[in-house]
């Protein structure tokens, strides 16, 4: 009986901490959207990488119509205390260059979760913007 009670308590704590982290993610996303609200030609993309053991990563990318990264924020870690941090090394970089770097230096990266999240967001941005360009040029 005690074991069931402990398991229930742990499940409740995990649910509460997950809710807090989701709120923080939404708040960060809203802040980025608010920063570029009303400006045309900017798009927000996110990528994530979850690990069973070890830290995961979430990446938020703001990309313009020319495939240039305007802003890059990353949250990595295993705890509820993880926060989004600016990754200035990617700002001003072309998406193609980012994806090329990720593909060529696959084995050398320190954080495979970060690399996977960046790659997911970058590929999503590349395909979405090219689709938008294609539909506007057809119309």
**Global pTM value:** 0.80
- 73: closest CA among 38, 105, 25? 25
Least confident of 31-35, 49-53, 115-119: 49-53
Instruction: Domain ranges for the chain, please list them.
Output: 2-138
- H or E element: which one contains 47? strand 42-49
The 10s digit of each residue's pLDDT in 75-128 is: 987 777 788 999 999 999 999 999 988 888 755 555 688 899 999 999 999 899
């Amino acid at each position: 009986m005690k074991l069931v009670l402990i398991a229930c308590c742990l499940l409740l704590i995990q649910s509460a901490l997950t809710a807090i982290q989701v709120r923080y993610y939404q708040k960060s996303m809203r802040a980025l959207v608010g920063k570029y609200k009303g400006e045309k030609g900017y798009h927000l993309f996110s990528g994530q990488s979850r690990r069973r053991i070890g830290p995961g990563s979430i990446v938020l990318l703001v990309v313009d119509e020319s495939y240039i990264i305007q802003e890059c924020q990353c949250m990595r870690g295993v705890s509820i205390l993880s926060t989004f941090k600016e990754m200035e090394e990617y700002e001003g970089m072309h998406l193609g260059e980012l994806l090329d770097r990720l593909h060529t230096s696959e084995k050398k990266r320190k954080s495979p979760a970060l690399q996977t999240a960046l790659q997911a967001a970058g590929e999503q941005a590349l395909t979405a913007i090219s689709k938008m360009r294609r539909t506007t040029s057809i119309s």
